[in-house]
Amino acid sequence: MSVPVTGRASADAGESAWHAAWLPPAAFRELGSRGVLVHGDGLLVDTVLDEVSRACARYGGRVWHGPPWQVDAELVLALREAGPVPNAVAEAARLGATPAVNGTGGGALGDEGYLLARVNGVTVVLADAPAGLLYGMFHVVRLGAAAFDDDLPPRRHRPALDRRMLDHWDNVAVHPVSGQVERGYAGGSLFWRDGAARREPARLRDYARLLAACGVNAISVNNVNVHDTEALLLTDRLGDVAEIAEVLRPYGIRVHLAVTFAAPVVLGGLPTADPLDERVRAWWAAATRRVYQRIPDFGGYLVKADSEGRPGPFAYGRDHADGANLLAEALAPHGGVVRWRAFVYDHRQDWRDRSTDRARAAHDHFAPLDGRFADNVILQVKFGPIDFQAREPVSPVLAAMPATRLAVEVQATQEYTGQQRHVCYLGPWWSEVLRFRPWGAAGDTIADVAAGRAGAGGGLVAVSNVGDDPFWTGHPLAQANLYAFGRLAWDPLLDPGAILDEWIDLTWLPVTKGDPAPVRRTMHAIMDDSWRTYERYTAPLGVGFMVRPGHHYGPDVDGYEYTPWGTYHFADRDGVGVDRTRATGTGFTDQYPPPWSEVYESRERCPDELLLFFHHVPYRHVLHSGRTVIQHIYDTHFAGVEEVAAMRERWRLVAGAVDPAVHDRVAERLDEQFRSAVEWRDQINTYFFRKSGVPDAHGRRIH
Amino acid sequence: MSVPVTGRASADAGESAWHAAWLPPAAFRELGSRGVLVHGDGLLVDTVLDEVSRACARYGGRVWHGPPWQVDAELVLALREAGPVPNAVAEAARLGATPAVNGTGGGALGDEGYLLARVNGVTVVLADAPAGLLYGMFHVVRLGAAAFDDDLPPRRHRPALDRRMLDHWDNVAVHPVSGQVERGYAGGSLFWRDGAARREPARLRDYARLLAACGVNAISVNNVNVHDTEALLLTDRLGDVAEIAEVLRPYGIRVHLAVTFAAPVVLGGLPTADPLDERVRAWWAAATRRVYQRIPDFGGYLVKADSEGRPGPFAYGRDHADGANLLAEALAPHGGVVRWRAFVYDHRQDWRDRSTDRARAAHDHFAPLDGRFADNVILQVKFGPIDFQAREPVSPVLAAMPATRLAVEVQATQEYTGQQRHVCYLGPWWSEVLRFRPWGAAGDTIADVAAGRAGAGGGLVAVSNVGDDPFWTGHPLAQANLYAFGRLAWDPLLDPGAILDEWIDLTWLPVTKGDPAPVRRTMHAIMDDSWRTYERYTAPLGVGFMVRPGHHYGPDVDGYEYTPWGTYHFADRDGVGVDRTRATGTGFTDQYPPPWSEVYESRERCPDELLLFFHHVPYRHVLHSGRTVIQHIYDTHFAGVEEVAAMRERWRLVAGAVDPAVHDRVAERLDEQFRSAVEWRDQINTYFFRKSGVPDAHGRRIH
């Protein structure tokens, strides 16, 4: 393939073989054409200095590493502790003692916060720690010319969530089934290839820049399904992890490792991995000590235990608190955390047994353990009770464990949302989840839960959608999901449409030919509602999981219906949906606090989009929308395909304005999305027509 | 695993690491305890002499390689041309000038025939060619003591079909999806391992013995889907094929090779594989000449072209006659044949299009070409129009090409019949196919079609079910399918129940502990009706293909319903089945001659077991059996599971009488068969209950 390049991304001045994404050189134009003063010392301050220097070298600006102070600096990036500041900076600092935009404290900026102001013709970024300076610099980049126009009142910026993490499901050795990257749709891994470390620091550094620029500060470098080769990353292959950490560190990104709970057996030769066994505790302590010797800022462990066949504490008659606390104990002396996944369910369920409900599983397993986890355990909870569907309710676990640090896990890799062959901008979906108030209008949001008390929350986590594809994400437009994830993790109250525009402006407008306005409008129009479009042409009304088994791409209505995976729709000739009420169903609704327990319990009050998740209803049941369920199915599926057709047409019209390599790749994928959407429409409509016998009210063709 | 050994199989006197199957040493007891005279010369006579000598060494008999004649020989195995014969033999020869049991000619015995008699206390096998002597000797083995009891009137035995072939779908290099053996359920390949020849002549020779003993005389050594490594068998790796031929030759088995139609491009570097291109013809001629230089008795080529993505003549605007004749021309000077598969259909069909019918495809493609194929082209036709289902009608192609040599292809490997985890004795099914009379009661049978005119038929072919498993076939009882295939290819009129008993007697009774009668009864009871049992608990009434996509094991009613593979059932809330009538359907019934065209066309006359193959009927349609379709579905599925339960119980009762290794393996597989049968029953019944809403008349539990 010809490698599409729309900007310069890497540390050197040449063009790189991968896409610049939201950091094209032109994004630094305003900053790089000024006089810039960087004040402070440290690894991340050096990073800031390096970024600024390269920008100024390109665009004719000038850089000072103060003191002494430069009176003609137009941008000051300074650590407050670094000593006396010039007048403008002092003024900003004084004014900055106001409440933070998204902080919890008073005047403090914290480890990652910064104060941004423009006073008397000087733009000022002040921070108390180097990471804050780095984030502040990227804020200036995002602002572009606006950072140097009118005065900006001093405002403090702190991340709402301390932990903003990407989980890579990358295998070191190519797995015979899941490949190099499990559920990866963007080529190979940035870290590993064919059983060994890739050792491509230039590209990794560029990746780190992109992550820092959108706010991500943590990463796990291997798949949560830890196979034999990957298990060794904890011991024999630790050097590979240390090398990655070395490259990511200048951008404030801490490395985590997915480990197998069976490590003491697999790696240590012990006869047991029992969390209460002294030898096991000693093994973990020693192994962890060795990790911190090599990687002093190591983040911690990520564990998928007793889930889908992975080993865990159940084998020893212990519970998940015992298991997690074992690792927590080993990590605590070094400041690390254990991230313990709550994705535990019976994947060998009997489809005949309608009383077992996979949706209940995480709550059943974990809610009783609230309060039993060590302080440095973070329970990592998938946002919904099933598995990253395009529509499901928010997991009740997130409202059930006030004494536990909870992280909310979303999936940037589009396993169930079109696999980066479909445009599906997930910002609005994640935003809806983060703004959801499980205790009702007066209570906290899910974002508040992730923030935790006193900043000790688990934060937000996404399964990464990145690979070694030149565009990073396979589908060029899927970059927006990575970007939006980082921005929402920093500030969950951001408007996803605004984030989208920010990403478009940074990534595409600098490289657009001619008037950028049509490209901006087109991209926005294609992407902003694309998640809802995807929902329209796929599984209806929250019922979920009508994908092809195994690879999960494309429709197969009954594909999982008679399997042990716990993902059913129970469609028969009369109706469809899963009865999860306490009155007549699995009782899942009871896992929610009021008011949602009552809202979901009621067929009348339940939101339309979740009706079939909670209720089994006749096809002629009338929705709040006034349409019957069956007519809703037909209508949304016809509409979804029409919307994809419109996307495709829109994209065609900007052919001349976008880099041909980008345009071609997106056009190809839109063709495939259209083909796939038609297939979804026809299979779903035909399936339900054959079952219900109800014709379409508008007489459209159902095969 | 501990290797189960129930007899001595290999050429040496020691025990081998694989099962003796139907040639345990004890099968040679009667023959080996006599005085035996072998008369004649040649490679296959040496084989006879070797077999006899080993048997006599073991059981105390005596062997002469005459002349001179031995007056005290109790068994004479003689080539008629080898010179004067003793009195008893002359008498037999004279009497033998009667019509053959299954021959076409008068007194001739042909290349493989023999005369068997017992006269005046001497058992005599006479043949005109060495292969006949070999088959005659194995006949004596099968007879056991009966060969030496009363007089046997002289009878001539000739194979009904000249070509009795096994196609191995073995890959040389392990294929990422299909593995070492495509659709193989018996371990690895006997010929290849991990990209190279296995070179295990001892086992291969034992395999050849087993094949010769049941009548097989031809084999293809690689998968019809010819991938890159396998393509080289024709050229660079020809030596590997020659080595295999060397080992199989003493047992009268000719080696064939599956080749890619694109070989001139892939191997020869030509820009085209156009069958009418002179360079292509010259390339095939030269390549074939080299093959015969190495393997003078090479059988010929097997080709899957323009099918499921394989290359073929369509790419050059040529038809299949052009393609097949190209290879035939290259093979003709050497006496080889091209076996051209008729398995050509559109595997990218649109499920929405109900006028396209995969069942029609082979006839549509090939019937118009009748008369255009060269004399040494054999068109290899799957027995049914779809793909080796447990029930489908006989392919109309077999009645549509009187001027073409046709081979009938069956599948011993149990792709769609339980994958050698289920007991499914296919003898009765193949027998039914071979006895089918497409032109009605007065016309020829399918076996006649395979025999051809003047012996120039294409014969019978099975996809092999053999691998490097110690029992050869994974499931020990699946050996019976291999045995039955060979015996039916020799004589299609044999009773499959009798073949089964023959196999049980040879294979198991010599190694049974205690009274063999209960073991014989038990095995017969388990196996004889097992194909119908399998049919009962799987897809109903000939509709077929309700298996899981990809691996084809276990139920998935809608698994192929919305795919491009052309295998649909069209079940809706009112009814089920495929309308293939000329009146209202795809017109497939018209591909049959009368009376079947009319029988299948008529919903009333169509046999119950094929009703849903030919008709879409309401669930309440009443069958000839008096039951409704829906009640038939319920009843057969409950019955099928009960039958498997009974099989399991029967097997339990002979635990003490059978080698524990064999008993355990069969018991394990019966457990899995039961589990799987329950799954089939429940999924099928639930599926149709949900769709039809009709309750079971007997109130049994449907989930």
Return all residues near A667 (Cβ < 8 A) that are at least 6 apart.
A648, A651, A652, A655
Q: How confident is the model at residue A96 (pLDDT cuts 50, 70, 90)?
A: low
ipTM: 0.84
The verdict on whether B415 is a catalytic residue reads yes
Q: Is B684 on the interface with A (CB under 8 A)?
A: no
What pLDDT is attached to residue B91? 63
Q: Is A564 on the interface with B (CB under 8 A)?
A: no
- Over the stretch B637-667, which tens digit does the pLDDT of each residue have? 999 999 999 999 999 999 999 999 999 999 9
Return all residues near B93 (Cβ < 8 A) that are at least 6 apart.
B80, B85, B115, B126
What pLDDT is attached to residue A68? 72
Closest chain A residue to the Cα of B691, Cα to Cα: A573
| CB-closest option in A557, A572, A679 to B558 | A557
- 3-class secondary structure, A170: strand
**How many Cβ atoms sit within 10 Å of the Cβ of residue A22?**
26
B279 lies in the same domain as B242: yes
**Chain A residue numbers touching B562 (CB-CB < 8 A):** 555-557, 679, 682-683, 686-687
Enumerate residues 189 to 208 of chain B having a beta carbon within 8 A of any beta carbon in chain A: none
DSSP for A316-378 reads GT--HHHHHHHHHHHHGGGT-EEEEE-----TT--TT-TT--GGGHHHHHHGGGTT-S-TTEE
| Nearest-CA distance B226 → chain A (Å) | 22
- Over the stretch A103-145, which tens digit does the pLDDT of each residue have? 334 468 999 999 999 988 899 999 999 999 999 999 999 999 9
DSSP for A246-290 reads HHHGGGT-EEEEE--TTHHHHTT--S---TT-HHHHHHHHHHHHH
| CB-closest option in B352, B557, B573 to A573 | B573
Enumerate residues 568 to 587 of chain B having a beta carbon within 8 A of any beta carbon in chain A: 571-574
B353 lies in the same domain as B484: yes
What pLDDT is attached to residue B394? 98
Q: Is A686 on the interface with B (CB under 8 A)?
A: yes
Closest chain B residue to the Cα of A701, Cα to Cα: B352
Domain extent at residue B687 = 534-578+616-692
The verdict on whether B468 is a catalytic residue reads no
| Nearest-CA distance B167 → chain A (Å) | 28
Best mutation site among B552, B562, B688, B700 for testing chain A: the one with the most A CBs within 10 Å?
A: B562
Enumerate residues 322 to 361 of chain B having a beta carbon within 8 A of any beta carbon in chain A: 351-352
**Which of B450, B432, B381 lies closest to B607 in space, CA to CA?**
B432
Out of A447-456, A463-472, A631-640, B484-493, which region has the weakest mean confidence (pLDDT)? A447-456
| CB-closest option in B574, B682, B693 to A352 | B682
CB pairs under 8 A between A and B: 61
Question: Domain of A423: which CATH number?
Answer: 3.20.20.80
Residue at a domain's end among A157, A179, A197: A157
Q: Phi and psi at residue A326, in whole multiples of 5°? A: -55, -50
- Compute the distance between CA of residue A253 and CA of residue A219 in angstroms, rounded to an integer: 7
Ramachandran assignment for B34, one of left (phi > 0), alpha (psi -120 to 50 degrees), beta (any other): beta
CB A395 within 8 A of CB A383: yes
B127 lies in the same domain as B210: no
Residue at a domain's end among B494, B515, B548: B494
- A523 located within any domain: no
What pLDDT is attached to residue B108? 81
Show the beta-strand stretches assigned E in A13-66.
Answer: 35-39, 62-66
What residue type is assigned to position B299 of the chain? G
- Over the stretch B181-213, which tens digit does the pLDDT of each residue have? 999 999 999 999 999 999 999 999 999 999 999
Q: Which long-range contacts (CB under 8 A, 24 or more apart) does B438-444 make?
A: B438/B394, B438/B396, B438/B398, B438/B399, B438/B592, B438/B593, B438/B596, B439/B399, B439/B593, B439/B594, B440/B593, B440/B594, B440/B595, B440/B596
- B519 located within any domain: no
Q: How confident is the model at residue B13 (pLDDT cuts 50, 70, 90)?
A: very low
A445 lies in the same domain as A567: no
Q: Phi and psi at residue B247, in whole multiples of 5°? A: -75, -35
Length of chain B: 703
- Compute the distance between CA of residue A657 and CA of residue A653 in angstroms, rounded to an integer: 9
Beta carbons of A692 and B555 less than 8 Å apart:
no
| pLDDT beyond 90 at A84 | no
Beta carbons of B693 and A571 less than 8 Å apart:
no
| pLDDT beyond 70 at A20 | yes
Beta carbons of A691 and B555 less than 8 Å apart:
no
Ramachandran assignment for A382, one of left (phi > 0), alpha (psi -120 to 50 degrees), beta (any other): beta
- Compute the distance between CA of residue B543 and CA of residue B612 in angstroms, rounded to an integer: 5
Q: How confident is the model at residue A262 (pLDDT cuts 50, 70, 90)?
A: very high
- A587 located within any domain: no
| CB-closest option in B550, B686, B691 to A691 | B691
What pLDDT is attached to residue B511? 85
B473 lies in the same domain as B336: yes
Bridge partner list, B409: B382, B461
User: Distances from the Cα of A544 to the Cαs of A284, A539, B322, in angstroms?
Assistant: 40, 5, 51
CB B531 within 8 A of CB B428: yes
CB B392 within 8 A of CB B540: no
Chain Cα centroid distance, residue B658: 27
Closest chain B residue to the Cα of A555, Cα to Cα: B562
- Compute the distance between CA of residue B513 and CA of residue B669 in angstroms, rounded to an integer: 22
Q: What is the mean pLDDT of chain B?
A: 93
- Over the stretch B82-93, which tens digit does the pLDDT of each residue have? 666 666 666 666
In a 10 Å sphere around its CB, with 0-12 CB exposed, 13-18 middle and 19+ buried, how is residue B627 labelled? Answer: middle
A194 lies in the same domain as A84: no
Closest chain A residue to the Cα of B572, Cα to Cα: A690
Best mutation site among B175, B558, B637 for testing chain A: the one with the most A CBs within 10 Å?
A: B558
Q: Is B683 on the interface with A (CB under 8 A)?
A: yes
**Chain B residue numbers touching A572 (CB-CB < 8 A):** 689-691, 693
Q: Is B96 on the interface with A (CB under 8 A)?
A: no
**How many Cβ atoms sit within 10 Å of the Cβ of residue B342?**
27
In a 10 Å sphere around its CB, with 0-12 CB exposed, 13-18 middle and 19+ buried, how is residue B84 labelled? Answer: exposed
- Sign of the Cα torsion A504, A506, A510, A511 reads negative
CB A702 within 8 A of CB A689: yes
What residue type is assigned to position A695 of the chain? P
Q: Is A701 on the interface with B (CB under 8 A)?
A: no
A551 lies in the same domain as A672: yes
- Compute the distance between CA of residue A600 and CA of residue A386 in angstroms, rounded to an integer: 16
What residue type is assigned to position A287 of the chain? A
- Compute the distance between CA of residue B72 and CA of residue B35 in angstroms, rounded to an integer: 7
- Compute the distance between CA of residue B266 and CA of residue B263 in angstroms, rounded to an integer: 5
What residue type is assigned to position A664 of the chain? D
Question: Domain of A89: which CATH number?
Answer: 3.30.379.10
- Tokens encoding B579: 């309308």
Q: Is B686 on the interface with A (CB under 8 A)?
A: yes
Closest chain B residue to the Cα of A692, Cα to Cα: B573
Q: Is B559 on the interface with A (CB under 8 A)?
A: yes
| Nearest-CA distance B176 → chain A (Å) | 8
Closest chain B residue to the Cα of A353, Cα to Cα: B703
Active-site annotation of A, residues: 308, 387, 415
A130 lies in the same domain as A268: no
* Number of independent structural domains in chain A: 3
Beta carbons of A574 and B703 less than 8 Å apart:
no
B545 lies in the same domain as B487: no
Start-to-end CA distance of chain A, whole Å, equals 39
- A590 located within any domain: no
What pLDDT is attached to residue A86? 62
- Tokens encoding B516: 């063999």
Q: Is B556 on the interface with A (CB under 8 A)?
A: yes
- Pick the more confident residue, A694 or B88: A694
Q: How confident is the model at residue B1 (pLDDT cuts 50, 70, 90)?
A: very low
**Chain A residue numbers touching B571 (CB-CB < 8 A):** 690
Closest chain B residue to the Cα of A570, Cα to Cα: B690
- Compute the distance between CA of residue B207 and CA of residue B219 in angstroms, rounded to an integer: 11
| Nearest-CA distance B688 → chain A (Å) | 9
Please name the residue that has the structure tokens 């005389």.
Answer: B217
A141 lies in the same domain as A227: no
CB B460 within 8 A of CB B490: no
Residue B15 per-residue DSSP state: -
| pLDDT beyond 50 at B5 | no
| CB-closest option in B555, B559, B572 to A690 | B572
| pLDDT beyond 90 at A90 | no
Beta carbons of A572 and B352 less than 8 Å apart:
no
Q: What is the mean pLDDT of residues A49-70?
A: 91
Beta carbons of B572 and A691 less than 8 Å apart:
yes
- Tokens encoding A452: 């935790």
Beta carbons of A690 and B352 less than 8 Å apart:
no
Beta carbons of A690 and B571 less than 8 Å apart:
yes
**Chain A residue numbers touching B577 (CB-CB < 8 A):** none
- B398 located within any domain: yes
Beta carbons of A555 and B571 less than 8 Å apart:
no
- B409 located within any domain: yes
HSE-CB of B330 using CA atoms within 13 angstroms? 28
B358-385 burial string, b = 16+ CB within 10 Å, else e? Answer: bbbbbbebbbebbebbbebbbbbbbbbb
B178 lies in the same domain as B297: yes
Beta carbons of A691 and B558 less than 8 Å apart:
no
What residue type is assigned to position A197 of the chain? A
Beta carbons of B690 and A572 less than 8 Å apart:
yes
- B121 located within any domain: yes
- Over the stretch B305-341, which tens digit does the pLDDT of each residue have? 999 899 999 999 999 999 999 999 999 999 999 999 9
CB A134 within 8 A of CB A44: yes
- Compute the distance between CA of residue A302 and CA of residue A167 in angstroms, rounded to an integer: 9
Q: How many helices (H) and strands (E) does chain B have?
A: 21, 20
- Pick the more confident residue, B521 or B87: B521
**How many Cβ atoms sit within 10 Å of the Cβ of residue B333?**
11
- A627 located within any domain: yes
β-pair type (B179-181, B170-175): antiparallel
| pLDDT beyond 70 at A700 | yes
DSSP for B55-85 reads HHHHHT-EEEEESSP-TT-SEEEEEGGGS--
Beta carbons of B555 and A562 less than 8 Å apart:
yes
| CB-closest option in B682, B691, B703 to A573 | B691
A315 lies in the same domain as A463: yes
Question: Domain of B674: which CATH number?
Answer: 3.90.1330.10
HSE-CB of A692 using CA atoms within 13 angstroms? 25
**Chain B residue numbers touching A556 (CB-CB < 8 A):** 558-559, 562
**Chain A residue numbers touching B686 (CB-CB < 8 A):** 352, 562
> Over B513-557, what HEC string results?
CCCHHHHHHHHHHHHCCHHHHHHHHCCCCCCCCCECCCCCCCECC
CB A429 within 8 A of CB A394: no
Residue at a domain's end among B440, B466, B494: B494
- Compute the distance between CA of residue B374 and CA of residue B376 in angstroms, rounded to an integer: 5
Q: Is A555 on the interface with B (CB under 8 A)?
A: yes
What pLDDT is attached to residue B92? 62
